[in-house]
Structure 1
Amino acid sequence: MSIDIKPDPTIEGYKSIFNNSMDAVLLTHPDGTIFYANSAAEKLFGYTQNELCKLGRSGIVDTNDPNLVIMLDERGREGRSRGELTFIKKDGSKFPGEISTNVFKDKNAIAYTFMIIRDITRRKNAEESLKESEERYHSLFKNNHAAMLLIDPDTGKIVDSNPAASSFYGYSREDLVKMNIKQINNLSDSNVYGEMQKSKTFKKNNFIFKHTLANGEIRDVDVYSGPIRVGGKNLLYSIIHDITHRRQMQNEIKDSLDESLRVQDELITLIENIVDEVWFTDAEGNIILANAAARKFQNKNKFEENLTLNKLISKSNVYDSDGSIRLDEGSPLLRALNGEILTNFDETVIFPRGEKQYRQVSSAPIKNEYNKIMGAVAVVRDITKQKKIEESLRISEERLRLAQIRGGVGVWDWNVVTNDLYFTPELEQLYGLDPGTIKTYDDWRMLTHPDDIEKVEEERDSKIANHQPFDLEFRILHDSGDTRWLSARGGAIYDTNGQVKRVLGINIDITNRKKAEEILNTTLIRFYKILSSMRASVLLVTANNNVEFVNQEFCDYFYLNEEPEYFMGYSSLEMTSVIKSAYRNPDEALRRIEEIVRNWKPVHGEEVLMRNGKSCLRDFVPLFIDGKLYGRLWLHLDITERKHTEEELNESNIKLKKEVNDHQITELKLEKMLNELKRSNKELEQFAYVSSHDLQEPLRMVALFTQLLERRYKGKLDDDADDYIKFIVEGAQRMKLLIDDLLSYSRVNTKPSEFNSIEMDKVLDNVLSNLQLTSEENSAEIDIQEPLPTIIGDESQMIHVFQNLIANGIKFNDKDSPKISVLAEQDEDGWIFSVSDNGIGIEPKYQAQIFEIFKRLHEKDKYPGTGIGLAICQKIIERHGGKIWIESKPGVGSIFYFNIPNQK
């Protein structure tokens, strides 16, 4: 049954408008009867207008589309609807279309429906391409100038936002991702959820909402929303446009219109809401109507209110699709006024500020019943976004390719069903292969190190089974024969049944990082060995506040009974609670520790009071490796004994201050005595020389006849006589050594040689030659710095000094292999020489006594000698204008220093 509908004459007046629309336009009855279709509709469906009228709505719409019932219900309730349906062409093919419908009544109260239908196949394909691209590459929405949100459709939680959204809503991104869209949208919670489900299921992609900003202001927004998969999650994207001003304008226009123009208002509203630009001109080229999209174009060019066609085409640079600049007579609207019809004509516009817009224009003349041109109409579609998406995809692909090349990154794609494996050329280059070598998963297995393949597959498959991404490291057999390390990161794509279809990922060459880690581990082991051997207590805490190392000294000093390894892995708080009882004031000690860690500045030599009357010096050292924070090192050095010594010294100082006054009285006497001592000392030196020289002959006689007595009567007298003879022989021999050393001591000043230029390299050669037998017997290692300097001095005395110091380093040594080192360093006054050993060392309280004549620290049966050797060395160094001193630690070794000033 058909209904005889006679449209109102007013409607006829708009047929010419819709006839030139780029979209299909149908004038129908609410029951689906079609009584008018424009040329775009004929082209879209492949039917003539008469055929479309006979078919009706059911002939061109897929009635099984569930959206049809939803849209009809919405239109019945609200008088309009907008959404997507599946349409059928004459050849039977189906395509997705976007449809906008409006119900209105003419002056006779007859209901009509305008339908605007747009083929969105291309857009759907672009959306699908964009969706697939998102699975492989990161989303580009952050760079969009429009406000954009990513929303969880099941909960409404805001997952992400771009900078434009923060700018629009007045919240920071950190605040937005803590919020729910229900806190912004003014709809009820149930309605918000319902709208999200429509967007999630493609039933609706455009919404008009009221959103509340951070400052409490309520804005009207036009929201484009749809499903998107990001990071393996199904989310909704929302692109938000502020239309508050436009809605206000619409409301003002609507309120001012007379009820008699309601039908015309509906038509104008329909045109106003078309996303494409719509322009109308009169016969003279004056623009008489422009919709919202057209006015946006007008605003970009800063047009005045009264706009003529000539001004429109002169404000911007317009180019045809071939890139040539548009002449005035080439404007589609001008050509329409000349009777020409253009469809989907491509052009490019560059606005005054340099912004570029890509456009498709359809234009046609408006004629009256006498076929006279009364004006022109143009419909312009902005395809800039589509162009930019295509260009962005191309640029993204190119950037990804360049990033892979420069970053040593390769991408792979494994089809689990077919076992085909795709390697990008960049990835095959990491393996040292030619492009196209890898074709199957088995090819890859052959190139993976046999010791790693099973572990890699087990870890990867475990992650995939739990729908988790994987991050693995393994070795490959490079084509060059080398073994290299790769990192593999990726995940799986599953079908609707949860079965794995594909596994994708990237590989990064981490060989250099692995080598660096190996070097670092070796360095740390050496570092720990050094810390273990230190006499100070050591505690190393990593940057994540875990104990990495303590030595035995630390455990002993803080009264800990466990072995150092027991505390590895303790948190810093746990370790602090364990050791706090060792402090004299635990609460104050913990407060200071927290302060030091908070300030994060080095602390050196800070005195800390411990329980049981102990004291220590504390060091705090932040540690960095390659510029990155590694941890912090705490050192505690026990100074209890030193503190006691200082207290004793303080008491002595008080006594000394008291005695100073008395000493001042005797200073004059001392000065006189000093002069007398100098004269006496000179005489004594001469006497010592003469005495020691003159004693040589009688001593030889005593030694000789005692030895003869021993050879002749040994064993013939009683045991006591044998012992007495032995004591006399040994005493004579020791007396000879004392006299020889005393003679050497006296000769330093009484029989010196002239100062000359000395090559110290030759001096040490003589010393090593003299000590060769001693060195070999004791397996000594003597390291001499080369080259040594040339100085002014007494060569024989320098030989004596070095020979004595090196011989002492060998003699006073309990190691299997004594190690002696001789160094020289220049300062502003001359040269400082040092002789270091790894011997028994000397306690600090004895170090000042060793240079006294005949001063011995050990029994003569353990370490033979007269105790005059270092006194001779000191006298020689003082003759050369220098001084000699020692640094020593018991059990570690000693370093003897002496300086020789520059001589003229």
Structure 2
Amino acid sequence: MKKNEENPQNALRKSGTRELFRKIFEASPDGIIISRVTDDKILLVNRSALAIYGFSEEEMLGKTSAELRLLAKPSDRKKVIRALNEQGYLRDYPLTVVKKSGEKRYVSIAIESIDIENEKCILSIVRDVTEKRMAEERYRNTLDSMLEGCAILGFDWTYLYVNDANARHARMKKEDMLGKIIFEVIPGVEKSVFFDAYKRCMLERTPQRIEAGFTFEDGSKAWYEALANPVHEGIFVMSMDITDRKLAEEELKKKEHILELILDHINEGIIVSDAPDGKVLAVSRWGLNHTIGRSVDAVIDLPVEKYLEQWDVRDINTGEKIEPERLPVSRALKGETIQGEEWLMLRPDGSSFITSVNAVPIYNNDRTKVLNTVATWTDMTSRKKAEEQASQRLIELDTILGSIADGVIVYDTDSKIIRMNAAAETILKYPQADLKMSIQDRVKERYGVWSEDGRRLNPEEMPAMRASKYGEKITGTVVRIQGAGGSRWIIVSAAPLIVSGRQTGAVASMSDITEIKKAEEAISKTKEQYEILFNSIEEGFAHYKAIYDENGRLDDILVLDINPTGAKLSGSSREDQVGRQWKRVWTGIEDSLFDIYREVDKTGEFISFEHFSGITNRWYVSNIYKIGVGEFAVTFFDITDRKLAEINLNRTLVELERSNRDLERFASAASHDLQEPIRMMGSYASLLMKRYNGKLDPQADRYLKFMFEGAIRLQILIKDILNYARLRSDKMAFSRVDLNAVLIAVLDDLRNPVAETGAVINYGELPKIVADRKQIIQLFTNLLSNAIKFRRKNTVPEINILAEDRGKEWLFSVKDNGIGIEPEFAKLIFNIFQRLNEREEYPGVGIGLAICKRIVERHEGSIWMESEVGKGSRFYFIIPKKESDV
């Protein structure tokens, strides 16, 4: 009711009817209470007011609101009175009241001062807004709990309402936003597309939707979707933070771009298909180029079966063409998973390659339906070749490892053996079951490893473990192992195995040094014996070191050590020599002696030489060995007595040589002088036998025979002596001699004895050698005639001649089936005039084999025989090859 409106009491008086007032009073849906100003007691109350407060009329009339405790907050009474005094009335003033039952209700109250029968009264009209208020609170709570931002902007751009989500979007607190203008809350918003949309909604009263990014004062950016709708207060704005979605969309675009790049550049075939429609969704450029040679756009959305019909895929073994429905892509559309199938695929240019195909179906969440399929394939030709090469290298590696004398073991990172050569198996003698164990388990259960000082090693201390587990490199560690193969000493080296910058295990090499250890122990045990030997041997032994001048030329010798015998032989005590140089111990040392040491120092070759010392006036033999850089080991001994004996021997040999020459001259002269008388004696004896045979008494005939035979033997003897003597003095006439021709000539000379005895001579192809032809003929003649002569009775002589090429020499043999001799006489028969049989049974003078020996020796060869009585003899002789032979 407005102030200038007419007072209702006056209106009632004018109407003249109280009944009309009562009806209006009782029929009003709002509660009406009339109270006196002076004491605040209630004078009138209608049914609606009684219903609002829950009292009866009797309980309220004559009572004050304070007595009835109608206000939930007593302080509200003072606020109402103050407002009423200031304005004179109240309209739609919100209050919380309490019913008689204690239930709180929300009301909107209007208060006006009125006069009733000249008495000041208060008219209170109370409207129960509890349901409306609760609905508003539910709506407000709904807005507050929404994930979307909600705000109400008044026509002056003041925030009338803000929920938590909107405050988060503005990056503010709600209390800092309410009642403030949007430009103060969000600086720069007036320049944004969001404000443009809000402004259109506010002015045009039409809904607006906007999706955009907003950059805050700190430079950060967020994306929002906003809906603005006009309301009676101004506009209602609902906002959603879509930053994550936008980032996801950008990430998706990036991934799609990456996928496009992958599909364009990957060297593999890829096809993604849609299962429900059976169409190609994506395909790699490489896959197209190696199947049908078409562009990507030409196959996208093409039915998979149409695409596969253009493929030319063959069975890798039979070459049979594969139908599309048998290909992995088609089978994956039916739910089959294919892993690593190998096919032969033909390119558009007709070339082919081996491919390995994988295809998988992609199901919906409950795996009841195939949504998509992904298939990949790659050119395996190079990989196949690489695998074959790797397999071949593995075979080669096994071959190499098998040929290495040292043991080699490859471990993985768990210290388990993955490869082991035969030498390692021999050294370690692990049973097959133990090879699968780690080092820790083997040591724990069966084996022990000890260091050189006798300490048992933990697994972590062992070389292979240190290399495989900790990446250490170990060189030349000596350990003793005790296990199934007994106790053995080995020297081990181990290193980490690095592949592509990553450790994949370790490799260890080992050598069995058990025998070396035993030898070291033996050396240790004999060290004292060596010292005794060093000090007691009758040969001099010294350890020298070279002293060089400024030009690097060996100029002196430093004595590092010398044994007592060496000191004695050199004419100076050990104390005077050790640690001193020769030139400070002795004077007058010949430089030629230093030259020998220089030669050994330069070449490293051992030199043995004889030399005379003017210091001791003695002869020595020295043996010099280089044993290190500028160091020598020397043994030497006194040969003065031997040298004196050699001098005397040489004198004797000179005399003997002169005597032999005189003897040869005498033999030659005597033979020539004796030949004619003996020939005449034989001739006359032959004439006497022819003329007087049988005419004289038998004894005379026998004497004539003896005289004739003696003359003949003497002729033969003189002839053989001359031949033997000439073999020493005659000059050798070397030429290339065909032994086949030689043997023919020899057999021709021996044709009579061969014919008389029926001898059989066997020989094959004989070589050509460089020799004195005349002497070789004599050699074979003597050997063959000897074999025929010494035949067994009633046995046809059989002679076999063989030749064997022994590289730098020829080995010949002449074997017969004659009488043979005792083995102990085999060397005697080559002596001159040596006979082992009676002359009457086997005639001869005993020079033939001596001539053979001299011929072979003049050819720098050797001759010997092997024989057995009653079975025959075999003569061997060697003729070295000349350079022209070789």
TM-score, with length taken from structure 2: 0.43
Higher RCO (CA-CA < 8 Å; seq separation 6+):
1
